[in-house]
């Protein structure tokens, strides 16, 4: 099976009815790019930068160190786009393992991701400057996690503007970036039109979107049986975000675990998704599903799945 899949590595990912689908990698270390390309990725759809910051007992990476890491990620992708997500640490992803998770009452609802960045804007702009400088050397898509409020969008973009101004003042070269928002809070999915006004692209974080829609802690074994990607509420949010992005002519991808689940590929294609970002090990299995799919036939079926009160039954092969 492995050998058969590996023959698909250089096969373009196009459906039976000629729809091109972009398969991207989720990476966690700056040096992960080349292996992702060998696995068949045509870009990085999610570089989780938190691993640069974690486990250093408070000694955060400075602009130079971060710049070198982002450069390494870009150089490893040979001109392909790299989506760099700003820091997503906080209550539920402690910076330091010494920091007890239960220190917080509701870690997943606390100060994490963009909320953390906007609470420490000097740290945030250090990261933004490093990313902007790296963008002088390749195609960077800059992605912001966990946005929900319009005021957060405006504060985030103001910080980006300020970071550019700081580089201008220092006379340091930097590049243009496309900017995107993670859609991973139900409030963001329900107000997706606002996000489409501000951003060039969207990326749906299904791991958190499921957690927050269903009120199921994604890390709590005791409720893991209720963590259901096929809950009709989850599917409806995903379907509406994809449709709204399509209508606005902006690109949208899924970068949560759902994108790398071969059992979900036909449904996501049927909902109009044309960009999937996943662990590199999943890419060829997903490509195989894409090569067998006819999106014209999948579209009405996917709508029926979303409108059903038991989508799991319709999804069975
Ligand atoms: C997600 O929430 O789906 C996602 C991709 O982000 P993370 O898993 O890093 O929270
Ligand atoms: Mg997330």
By C-alpha distance, which of 196, 181, 188, 198 is closest to 141? 181
How many angstroms separate the CA atoms of 189 and 212, rounded? 11
Per-residue pLDDT at 106: 81
pLDDT band at 100, cuts 50/70/90?
Answer: low
In this predicted model, what pLDDT tens digit does every residue of 53-62 receive, in sequence order?
A: 988 876 899 9
Q: Residue 178: which pLDDT band, with cuts at 50, 70 and 90?
A: very high
Residue 98 has pLDDT above 60, yes or no: no
Ligand nearest to the CA of 50: 1
Q: How far is the CA of 206 from the centre of ligand 1 (A)?
A: 7
Residue 317 pLDDT greater than 90, yes or no: no
Ligand 1 contact via 27 beta carbon (within 6 Å): no
Please give the model's pTM, rounded to 2 decimal places. 0.96
Cβ atoms of 143 and 182 within 8 Å: the answer is yes
Token code pair at residue 195: 């996000």
- What is the predicted ipTM? 0.99
Longest dimension (CA), the chain: 60
pLDDT tens sequence across 11-50: 999 999 999 999 999 999 999 999 999 999 999 999 999 9
Of 82-91, 151-160, 222-231, 269-278, the range with the lowest mean pLDDT is 82-91
Please report the pLDDT score of residue 105 as a whole number. Answer: 74
Question: Over pLDDT 90: what percentage of the chain?
Answer: 85
Ligand 1 atom, smallest distance to 208 CA: 2
Determine whether the shortest distance from the Cβ of 88 to ligand 1 is under 6 A. Answer: yes
What is the H or E stretch that residue 82 is in? strand 82-85
What local confidence, expressed as pLDDT, does residue 89 receive? Answer: 86
The values of phi and psi at residue 236, to 5°, are: -65, -40
CA–CA dist 17, 192 (Å, integer): 29
**Looking at 108-112, 126-130, 155-159, which range is the least confident one?**
108-112
- Ligand 1 neighbour 206 (Cβ under 6 A): yes
48 Cβ below 6 A of ligand 1: yes
Q: How confident is the model at residue 10 (pLDDT cuts 50, 70, 90)?
A: confident
Among the bound ligands, the one closest to the CA of 48: 1
What's the pLDDT tens digit per position in 71-95? 999 999 999 999 999 999 876 666 7
Q: How remote is the CA of residue 65 from the centroid of ligand 1, in Å?
A: 24
For residues 312 and 128, the model is more confident at 128
Closest CA to 35 of 85, 87, 65, 78: 78
Average pLDDT of span 175-180? 98
Mean pLDDT of the chain: 94
Ligand 2 centroid to residue 183 C-alpha, Å: 9
Q: Would you say residue 4 has pLDDT above 80? A: no
Please report which confidence band the pLDDT of residue 6 belongs to, taking 50, 70 and 90 as the band edges: confident
Shortest-distance Cα residue to atom 1 of ligand 1: 205
Separation between Cα atoms, residue 33 and residue 261, nearest integer Å: 21
Q: Measuring from atom 9 of ligand 1, which residue has the nearest CA? A: 48
């Amino acid at each position: 099976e492995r050998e058969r899949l590996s023959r698909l590595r250089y096969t373009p990912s196009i459906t039976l009815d000629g729809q091109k689908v972009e398969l991207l990698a989720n990476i966690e270390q700056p040096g992960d790019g080349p292996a992702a390309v060998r696995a068949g990725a045509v870009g990085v759809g999610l570089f989780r930068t938190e691993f640069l910051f974690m486990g250093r007992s408070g000694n955060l990476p400075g602009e130079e160190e971060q710049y070198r890491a982002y450069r390494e990620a870009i150089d490893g992708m040979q001109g392909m786009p790299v989506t760099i997500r700003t820091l997503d640490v906080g209550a539920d992803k402690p910076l330091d393992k010494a920091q007890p998770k239960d220190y917080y009452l509701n870690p997943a609802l606390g100060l994490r991701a963009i909320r953390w960045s906007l609470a420490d804007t000097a740290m945030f702009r250090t990261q933004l400057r490093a990313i902007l400088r790296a963008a002088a050397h390749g195609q960077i898509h800059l992605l912001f996690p966990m946005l929900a409020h319009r005021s957060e969008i405006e504060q985030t973009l103001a910080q980006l503007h300020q970071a550019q101004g700081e580089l201008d003042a220092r006379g340091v070269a930097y590049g243009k970036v496309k900017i995107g928002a993670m859609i991973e809070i139900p409030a963001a999915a329900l107000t997706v039109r606002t996000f489409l006004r501000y951003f060039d692209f969207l990326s749906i974080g299904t791991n958190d979107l499921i957690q927050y829609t269903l009120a199921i802690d994604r890390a709590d074994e005791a409720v893991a049986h209720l963590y259901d990607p096929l809950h009709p509420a989850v599917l409806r949010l995903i379907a509406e975000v994809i449709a709204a992005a399509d209508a606005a002519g902006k690109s949208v991808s899924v970068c949560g675990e759902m994108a790398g689940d071969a059992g979900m590929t036909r449904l996501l294609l049927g909902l109009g998704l044309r960009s999937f970002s996943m662990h590199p090990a999943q890419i060829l299995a997903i490509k195989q599903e894409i090569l067998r799919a006819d999106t014209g036939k999948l579209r009405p079926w996917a709508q029926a799945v979303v409108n059903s009160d038991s989508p799991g039954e319709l999804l069975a092969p």
